[in-house]
Structure 1
């Protein structure tokens, strides 16, 4: 009951704070094209982002033509309402190999609100042995559709804000989905490269008052050897897997307390009607639970992140950028 009341309160709060209203969604989006061969408005993705005015108030649709873009990209906090889109994720690849600090190593960093990423591969090729973030999402109301997010350790820093991931492929080995956002992962494919019991998630909720947590709805989990579903980066870590296929890579215990038994009484680790050989709950740790149908109801829609009020559809009308914005990357 406490969880139900919590999420009803969360939904009410989030619905009241959304800024992406219907009028904005229906307006013509400003179209910018990125093409490495010089046939677009810009040759680099970052140059197109830099061209968006500060405190932007209209949807800017940046279409990225196929190619491998060796860039370290930041979407600044003062540039909301940007959509960055490829046509096929395998064809449009944003790649880097930085490592070290989790906040600085990301190949792609989103600080702005109301960002949308579509059909992109975002990767960090650093490999094993270092923290190497592919995607950091620190803005509110961010959504990703059909993206591939790839690294080894700390792949996706789902840092803060409300986020939605749909039909994404996310790959890594150690804590590869981590942070303290309030996020819904729907129909995503999680592939663990763990060689022996590393955790897929490390959610960082640090107090009962924080309105954060990860929900995986209708997802699929595969991997190369064995892994657990989550471990608590924060003592009140909250992760839910619902209606998700779990291959036999998931260890029978399911969850790990990160060597701190005191967190067993404060974490919120739940499963609901998951299936597959890794979903067998007979040997799950006693401090995780299966949700009843009534308890699960609040987690089975976008309401849990207030998403119906801010997740925007693809623009149907476009307008060409003015020469003041579309000046080609040579001016930067």
Structure 2
């Protein structure tokens, strides 16, 4: 097994390193084209190129400049995974989220506990479950995303506190399921969550988001567009980790689990004048704004317009048709 995987590391590395010269010889292009990607298979049964996901990632050369699709066969993969900053253009592709599961149990440091850490740019994840099974009591991140131009499709992220550390960069989440209890979508990225299901398992007064924007001139923030927001008990839509925290819910269903006041100030009233917490044409029992805190906003059409398209994350440039599965 070790000899086979060692051979595959060399083979994958050679294929990627030789690709630019092959393209030049054929007047081709380089960089992120899935139609001319290197494809490798991870399979715990031994019928793939690698047994472990991290081994397949390690086989990608530093400074990679083309699409590498790592196809993960069904199974429960018990490993902590890092996609390092110097390995862009990697795709982790499962079969479906219900049977392709990456799991670990860790807690403590927000940067040390993640089951999966994406530090590279131009990453795609699809049809995966990523979970941290530590439970209640400490920070236990399932996924940290700190690369730029990162997208996830049909994935599940499961933990309790700080489930999704949406840390930095521009990110897109489509048709994903995100579950947690305390500040379980947090960080300072510029992210669009479209058609996602966000579910709070907090038993009392948990916050769904803790966005970390630090300046009124920063272009970061979270937009939930056409999403479904549910929970088992009373939850806030968010509270301000950063002084200028920014979160918008638009055209989304808000269940009765959303507390009438909607937002919480993290015991710091000075943030009332700085945060940007907006709602636009949401519906459901939790969307009634009659008892909302007066420092949140009911957005007008013109105020909401910048948040209602992929342009809010510059996505018209990097969410190209060929990148969408």
Same fold by TM-score greater than 0.5: yes
Q: Which residue does 2:289 correspond to in 1? A: 281
Alpha-carbon spacing, 1:23–1:154, altered in 2? closer, same or farther (3 Å): closer
Deviations 1:93-151 (A, max 9, x none): 00000100001100000000000000000000000011100000011110000000000
Shift in Å, 1:312: 4.3
Conserved 8 A contact 1:28-1:315: no
Deviations 1:301-326 (A, max 9, x none): 1001011211245679xxxxxxxxxx
Partner secondary structure for residue 194 of structure 1: coil
Alpha-carbon spacing, 1:61–1:131, altered in 2? closer, same or farther (3 Å): same
Q: Distance in 2 between matches of 1:245 and 1:94?
A: 29
Q: Distance in 1 between matches of 2:142 and 2:31?
A: 33
Is the counterpart of residue 310 in structure 1 residue 310 in structure 2? no
Q: Distance in 2 between matches of 1:304 and 1:210?
A: 13
Conserved 8 A contact 2:32-2:89: no
Q: Distance in 2 between matches of 1:30 and 1:300?
A: 35
Q: Which residue does 1:127 correspond to in 2? A: 135
- The alignment's TM-score, normalised by the length of structure 2, stands at 0.89
Is the counterpart of residue 214 in structure 1 residue 205 in structure 2? no
Structure 1 segment 38-187 matched on structure 2, within 5 A: 38-187=46-195
Structure 1 segment 253-292 matched on structure 2, within 5 A: 253-292=261-300
Q: Distance in 1 between matches of 2:207 and 2:98?
A: 26
Alpha-carbon spacing, 1:139–1:315, altered in 2? closer, same or farther (3 Å): closer
Q: Distance in 1 between matches of 2:315 and 2:157?
A: 21
Q: Distance in 1 between matches of 2:45 and 2:96?
A: 18
Conserved 8 A contact 1:126-1:132: yes
Q: Which residue does 1:10 correspond to in 2? A: none
Higher RCO, 1 or 2 (CA under 8 Å, sep at least 6)?
Answer: 1
Q: Distance in 1 between matches of 2:261 and 2:323?
A: 45
Partner secondary structure for residue 117 of structure 1: strand
Q: CA RMSD in A?
A: 1.4
Alpha-carbon spacing, 1:26–1:33, altered in 2? closer, same or farther (3 Å): closer
Is the counterpart of residue 300 in structure 1 residue 311 in structure 2? no
Partner secondary structure for residue 263 of structure 1: helix
Shift in Å, 1:209: 2.0
Q: Report the count of equivalent residues.
A: 296
Q: Distance in 1 between matches of 2:98 and 2:169?
A: 28
Deviations 1:187-228 (A, max 9, x none): 000000011111000000011121110000000011111100
- The alignment's TM-score, normalised by the length of structure 1, stands at 0.87
Q: Distance in 2 between matches of 1:170 and 1:312?
A: 24
Conserved 8 A contact 1:216-1:241: yes
Deviations 1:271-313 (A, max 9, x none): 0000000000010000001111111111111001011211245
Alpha-carbon spacing, 1:264–1:219, altered in 2? closer, same or farther (3 Å): same
Q: Which residue does 2:22 correspond to in 1? A: none
